[in-house]
Structure 1
Amino acid sequence: MRVHVALLMTAMLVAGCAGGPSRTKGDAVPQPSAPITASPTAGAFSPTDIAWLQLTAAMTQRLLPVLDLVPTHTTDPTWRRLAAQVQASTRADLNRSRDLLTRAGAPTTNPHEGHDMPGMITADELAVLRSASGKTFQRLLAAHLRAHLAQAVTIAAAEQRAGVHPDTTALATAVIRSGDGDLARLDELDRAPTPHAT
């Protein structure tokens, strides 16, 4: 069990989770807020499962406001389509994460509130995105999407290896599959000309 926790916590340290609003790697390792022992009806959720679900939910909550900007900040249909695809998959992942946290008896509060780490857009970055449009917006969006998707895949792979609850590791597998697919589509979009951007 300690080995499992250490593996995921190492991945989170790579993500640079800190106790405050800076992106400086923190000294403290993020700890799961849920009880180690779940109720008998919840199944066997490990601390690793809980920590991953909490971090995944926190990352997704930061990404959704970015995706909400796309329809009003670019007219390029390919970027709008990609954003809609990512938004659909991340909302589904967020709902599943919340459902699993509820089943595990984990707190409903976000233990990563106020933390900034790779894959999490900051308030300042969101403000810059809100003031951008067209190709500038698309360039910024691509960078933030790539950072989020790459980090989501990294920590999901750690959960896949170290988690114990079958529904949670199944969600991790789904996150990896959708994340890899979205990264591939993002690569194609980055290489393609954008004649419709305005």
Structure 2
Amino acid sequence: MTKRSLIRRATAAAAAATGALVLAACGGNGNDSGAAHTGHNATTPSASASAPARQGEHNAADVTFAQGMIPHHQQAIEMADLAATRAESAEVKKLADEIKKAQDPEIKTLSGWLTSWGEQVPADGEGHSGHDMSGMMTAEEMKQLESSSGKAFDTAFLKLMVKHHEGAVAMAKSEQSEGAYQPAKDMAAAIITSQSAEIARMNALLDKS
């Protein structure tokens, strides 16, 4: 009985020790796994959330730029449309056509950004109400342009469009310095480059007239 009792006790002790080791191992794995899992969860969502946030990050300056540039471009296109039937200079007509081709796609892009941001997209034709923006024509100036033709139109168009472009360049520079959305800042840079070049062309045409 004594030997059997000792054997039983030894077996029980061994089993208990083995069980304790198993539990410790499982507990350790569970803790390690939990820590790793928790760490993984903490990292993955933030990484996945920060990636689109970086791509779509925008601020109030970006919204102002988009909402201001849309009617600004719309008015420039309206002015350019007049050149097709009123301008005398082939160079003025060519410039007007280039302005339309450049700015119409930008309006679509700007509108798409505002929609994706949940912001209001200016309605077509709001250019007349936005004459307080930099370089915008007043309703009276637009009427004067509409009523002119030939060389008088060419001169008025060039002078007004220089002023209009200068306003767009100023708006684009503000976006570059204050905006956060990289595609908008890239567009602003393109506007500064292209419209500054067009201002130089228009001033050269004015010098000839």
Secondary structure of 1:75's match?
coil
1:91-106 to structure 2, matched below 5 A, reads 91-106=104-119
Q: Does 1:189 align with 2:190?
A: no
Q: Which has the higher helix share?
A: 2
CA distance in 2, matches of 1:112, 1:83: 17
Partner of 1:9: none
Partner of 1:54: 67
Secondary structure of 2:164's match?
helix
**Taking structure 1 as reference, are residues 112 and 191 closer, same or farther at Cα in structure 2, changes over 3 Å only?**
closer
Structure with bigger RCO (C-alpha 8 Å, 6+ apart): 1
Deviation at 1:40, TM superposition (A): 5.8
Deviation at 1:46, TM superposition (A): 0.4
Deviation larger for 87-96 or 138-147: 87-96
CA distance in 2, matches of 1:60, 1:93: 8
CA distance in 2, matches of 1:69, 1:58: 17
Q: 1:158 aligns with which of 163, 168, 174?
A: 174
CA distance in 1, matches of 2:172, 2:130: 19
CA contact (8 A) 1:63 1:121 kept: no
CA contact (8 A) 1:44 1:165 kept: yes
Partner of 2:131: 116
| Percentage of pairs with the same residue | 24
1:114-153 to structure 2, matched below 5 A, reads 114-117=129-132, 118-153=134-169
TM-score (norm 1): 0.71
**Taking structure 1 as reference, are residues 85 and 100 closer, same or farther at Cα in structure 2, changes over 3 Å only?**
same
Q: Deviations over 1:104-155 (max 9, x none)?
A: 2211245887232242122222221111111111111012101110010011
Alignment: residue pair count: 155
TM-score (norm 2): 0.68
Partner of 1:64: 77
| Higher Cα radius of gyration | 2
CA contact (8 A) 1:42 1:103 kept: no
Q: Does 1:167 align with 2:179?
A: no
CA contact (8 A) 1:52 1:156 kept: yes
CA contact (8 A) 1:71 1:80 kept: yes
**Taking structure 1 as reference, are residues 180 and 59 closer, same or farther at Cα in structure 2, changes over 3 Å only?**
same
CA distance in 2, matches of 1:108, 1:42: 21
Consecutive unaligned residues of structure 2, counting only runs of 5 or more, are 1-51
| Letter matched to residue 115 of structure 2 | T
Deviation at 1:90, TM superposition (A): 1.6
